Amino acid sequence: MPKNNAMPVTIPAAIARAQLGSLLGEIAHSKTRYVITKSGKPAAVLLGIEDFDDILEELDPAFRRSLKVAAKEYEAGRAITLQDYLKKRLARSRTR
């Protein structure tokens, strides 16, 4: 199976059914995405759980709002790096 994960690979449902185990392996190892067709028309998508979680997050209205708030804070200069945050947090925990 292909190693390129930029574009989904289109496969007929019969092949997907027969080779599901190897397709799942490809998804796990190379993050390949598949469009499964039935009678030549797209019917389903087979993708990794990480990709699925990313899609769900992007569709979640609360998550989208939090991204907008974070972007505004970043643009206003109120953001710090994770490394700086962890240093401050560690310093605070040592003073307690």
| Domains annotated on the chain, with CATH | 9-49 (3.40.1620.10), 60-94 (no CATH)
Condensed to tens digits (0 to 9), the pLDDT of residues 13-37 reads 999 999 999 999 999 999 999 999 9
Task: Output the CA torsion 17→22→27→32 (10° steps).
Answer: -80
Contact 3, 32 (CB under 8 A): yes
Residue 10 has pLDDT above 60, yes or no: yes
C-alpha to C-alpha distance for 93 and 96, rounded to whole angstroms: 5
Q: What is the pLDDT of residue 63?
A: 86
Q: Which residue has the higher pLDDT, 5 or 62?
A: 62
Q: Tokens representing 78? A: 């109120």
Q: How far is CA 37 from CA 13, 27, 46, 75, in A?
A: 6, 18, 11, 44
Mean pLDDT for the stretch of residues 67-84:
89
Q: Tokens representing 33? A: 């995405």
Would you place residue 93 in the very low, low, confident or very high pLDDT band (cuts 50, 70, 90)?
Answer: confident
